[in-house]
Amino acid sequence: MMTLETELCGVLLKNPMIAASGTFGFGEEYSELYDISCWGAISVKGLTNRPRSGNPPHRIAETASGMLNSVGLENPGVDAFMRNELPRLARQGIPIIANVAGSTIDDYRESVGKLSDSPVSIIELNISCPNVREGGVQFGTSPERVREVTSAVRSCTSKPLMIKLSPNVSDISEIARAAEDAGADAISLINTITGMAIDAKTRRPILANVTGGLSGPAIKPVALRMVWQAAAAVSIPIVGMGGIMNADDVAQFMLAGARAVMIGTANIVDPMAGPRILAEIENFMQENEISDIRELVGGLRTS
């Protein structure tokens, strides 16, 4: 017998694969291609308290081994999500993770408060957002701000709380510990790395917003390093992400200390990435005589 089950904040996942926020929408388009209940869980498109139209185009640019995005958190808002999208998603019979973004701590608290009585299983807090009351500085760039926003949200929900960490920091271990100390039940990392692209012929930036978030295989080595460092710093579960394209990538992140993984850019490159990678994981386990995928977690040999 072979098991792919894992547990995250008391929530059972039938496999460690989570569709990453911002790359899977609300699952509707992908459900036209395959049964999306094959995922261990789905983290939905980032939600804000009120609807957002996002940034002007161009909002996506292809790069070597990755992509830049500056979508700007376009979404219908928490209320519309709960009314129009969540009932359909809940029928899939798998855990739904609500990814929440905000410009102020009050934004986060209000959104999370609304979601607290909903069928979502876990709330993922995207703290790579500019705090408008702090001059646009991201919430996730200092331990003090991470503690502040995590503690504030922790006090208004009993749902499992997962903090999504920014890689644009000097010490990821310190940031991870701050989230744990403030009451986080889990952390997910890494979010995108800030980058830009330039059209040399026009001498203009390709993205209308000038900079954007780099994702895809190009950031995987950085993501693996940060997951490994965070795993050594905290005792709460870690969800790893950053350039996962196949089963070998999944295994690498789990060996570095991740209990589950999020798959993002792969869904854009290959709309069938979900079922493909799941089949690859099963083959990987058979070929390597692994009976329980949890055997991989933290199994990296450094000596």
Cβ 71 vs Cβ 61: under 8 Å: no
247-255 and 220-233 helices cross at what angle (nearest 10)? 30
Does 9 qualify as catalytic in the annotation?
no
Contacts of 274 (CB under 8 A, 6+ apart): 17, 19, 30, 34, 36, 38, 39, 263, 267
CA dihedral 109, 114, 120, 125 (to 10 degrees): -20
End-to-end CA distance of the chain: 31
Residue 255 Cα distances to 1, 17, 153, 261, angstroms:
21, 15, 31, 11
Q: What is the dihedral of CA 211, 217, 219, 223, to 10 degrees?
A: 140
Of these residues, 9, 38, 129, 156, which one is catalytic?
Answer: 129
What is d(CA 253, CA 205) in angstroms, rounded to the nearest whole number? Answer: 33
Q: Which of 280, 255, 267 minimizes the C-alpha distance to 216?
A: 267
List the catalytic residues.
129
